[in-house]
Amino acid sequence: MIEKVLIANRGEIALRVMKTCKALGIKTVAVYSDEDTNSLHVKTADESYYIGEAAPAKSYLNQEKILDVMLSSGSDAVHPGYGFLSENDDFARLCEKNKINFIGPSADSMNLCGDKMRCKAAMLKAEVPTVPGSPGIVENADEAEKIANDIGYPVLLKSVYGGGGRGIRLVTNDKELQEGFATVTSESIAAVGKSAIIVEKFLEKTRHIEYQMCRDKHGNTVHLFERECSIQRRNQKLIEQTPSPVVDEAKREEIGALVVKAAQAVDYTNLGTAEFLRADSGEFYFIEINARLQVEHPISEMVSGSCSICYNSFWTKCKM
């Protein structure tokens, strides 16, 4: 039984986790930087600890410092929230090594989900449909050009290490592909110091549908219905809605079963999100797993019957 949770984050998500912990009788520990000395999450927690300067690299991303606070405060679990260390498998492994419960997927599962090609291979093995494209990382622009001609333009060049709309280029012919390959490679190296490119068929008139999923350490798996986030700018979500207007009950059940398969395929635990593209023809294609709680999770709470802010039925009592 968890007795004390350190929240390795700040702001809205830290407060949501704290309020849920309080409802469950679990003590909470906040961490804060120079920037957040007077923040509400610092005042709300049962205990608060200073971890460094305002720059995240010297505070919220400082794994050793956060580990020191976990150990000195007697915390037996850590919730990473979203952002910062939430998808850092090294941090999850550090927690596992020190017998601290990382509230999220295991380090191995997180590492697998973060490797888009290994994750895609796991989905194909589990018979979860994926977007047509390269079977693995393409070594150079000429190889990418051959694949693009095989599957047909337009295609997307995507960095395996991309995210948040970065490291993606839409190309419609060989000339654009040659130029785009160099650009995506440069962006990836500038962002993370390395590059690995894949090619995927660009599906026109698609909708972006994602399912929140939950799986415990005994293998019990459920999905918490879909969210639609098709309204985007520069590949970043602007509006989330649920239920999706293009998903009927039969399709919801069909794709929900694929989500359960996806979670099992990567041995996922805790909450996460499986993301799909819905083609204009109605077909769904898996694109990735976000191995963390997402910013948009509250709308899933709303439709699944409870709200972590007040722990009451959303439809009857929540005053959020």
What pLDDT does residue 319 have? 42
Name the burial class of residue 78, with classes exposed (0-12), middle (13-18) and buried (19+) by CB atoms within 10 angstroms of its CB.
buried
**Sheet with 197-201: strands ordered across:** 166-171, 155-163, 197-201
Task: Supply 320's token pair.
Answer: 């959020």
Q: Does domain 4-103 have CATH number 3.40.50.20?
A: yes
Give the model confidence (pLDDT) of 116-136 as tens digits. 889 999 999 999 999 999 988
Q: Is 114 within 8 Å of 268 (Cβ atoms)?
A: no
User: Quick one: pLDDT at residue 311?
Assistant: 38
Segments making up each domain of the chain, as ranges = 4-103, 111-129+204-304, 141-201
**Widest distance between CA atoms in the chain:** 61
Reported as a single tens digit per residue, the pLDDT across 265-289 is 999 999 999 999 999 989 999 999 9
Structural tokens at position 109: 């599962």
What's the CA gap between 180 and 255, in Å, rounded?
33
Q: What is the mean pLDDT of each run of 10 residues along the chain (320 residues)?
A: 96 95 96 97 98 96 97 97 94 97 97 90 95 90 96 92 73 96 88 84 93 94 95 87 95 97 97 95 94 90 65 38
111-129+204-304 — its CATH code?
A: 3.30.470.20
Please, are residues 224 and 293 in contact by the beta-carbon 8 Å criterion? no
Rounded Cα distance, 220 and 214, in Å:
8
CA–CA gap between residue 246 and residue 258 (Å, rounded): 17
CA distance 48 to 66: 12
Please, are residues 292 and 80 in contact by the beta-carbon 8 Å criterion? yes
CA angle 41, 26, 70 (to 5 degrees): 65
What is the spatial distance between Cα 160 and Cα 36, in angstroms, rounded to a whole number?
A: 34
Per-residue model confidence (pLDDT) at position 315: 36
Q: If phi over 0 gives left and psi between -120 and 50 gives alpha, with beta otherwise, what is residue 39?
A: beta
Q: What is the pLDDT of residue 9?
A: 97
Eight-class DSSP state of 138: B
CA distance 2 to 26: 7
- Which residues lie across from 12 on neighbouring strands? none
- Residue found under tokens 């694929």: 258
Fold of 141-201: Dna Ligase; domain 1 (3.30.1490)
Nearest to 116 by CA among 105, 106, 124: 124
Residue 233 is a catalytic residue: no
